[in-house]
């Protein structure tokens, strides 16, 4: 039997909480990485911040309802709650993942 960390029930997930969680560029990048990888631990994600910071961001994503995290020994692999989010907010995750990132002002046209 698998053990999963607490997360909000589907009917408790709020759109504002999801959007607030994804307003942080590291968390948005994490969502993209989880989409590519399917599942990952904080230590395995290639991000320019400390693992403790990644762990904090993953916790925010879990509490917002975007990811599920299970316990495997001492590891905590997380994955997107794709099916749940599609039922709650049809097309939202697909649109977020497909959105073109904004152009940075210091980049040439």
Instruction: Please write the tens of the pLDDT for every residue from 14-34.
Output: 999 999 999 999 999 999 999
Q: What is the pLDDT of residue 108?
A: 54
3-95 classified as CATH 1.10.10.10: yes
Distance of alpha carbon 31 from alpha carbon 29, whole angstroms: 5
Average pLDDT for the chain = 93
What residue ranges do the domains of the chain occupy?
Answer: 3-95
**Residue 100 predicted with pLDDT over 80:** no
Q: What is the pLDDT of residue 104?
A: 59
The overall pTM is greater than 0.85: yes
| Contacts of residue 18, Cβ cutoff 8 Å, sequence gap at least 6 | 64, 65, 66, 85, 89, 92
């Amino acid at each position: 039997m698998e053990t999963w960390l607490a997360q909000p029930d589907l009917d408790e997930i709020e759109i504002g909480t999801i959007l607030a969680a994804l307003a942080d560029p590291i968390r948005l990048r994490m969502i993209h990485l989880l989409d590519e990888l399917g599942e990952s631990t904080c230590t395995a994600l290639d991000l320019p911040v400390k693992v403790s910071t990644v762990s904090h961001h993953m916790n925010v994503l879990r509490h917002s309802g975007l990811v599920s995290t299970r316990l495997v020994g001492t590891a905590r692999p997380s994955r997107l709650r794709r099916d749940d989010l599609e039922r709650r907010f049809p097309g939202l995750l697909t649109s977020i993942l497909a959105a073109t990132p904004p152009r940075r002002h210091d980049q040439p046209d």
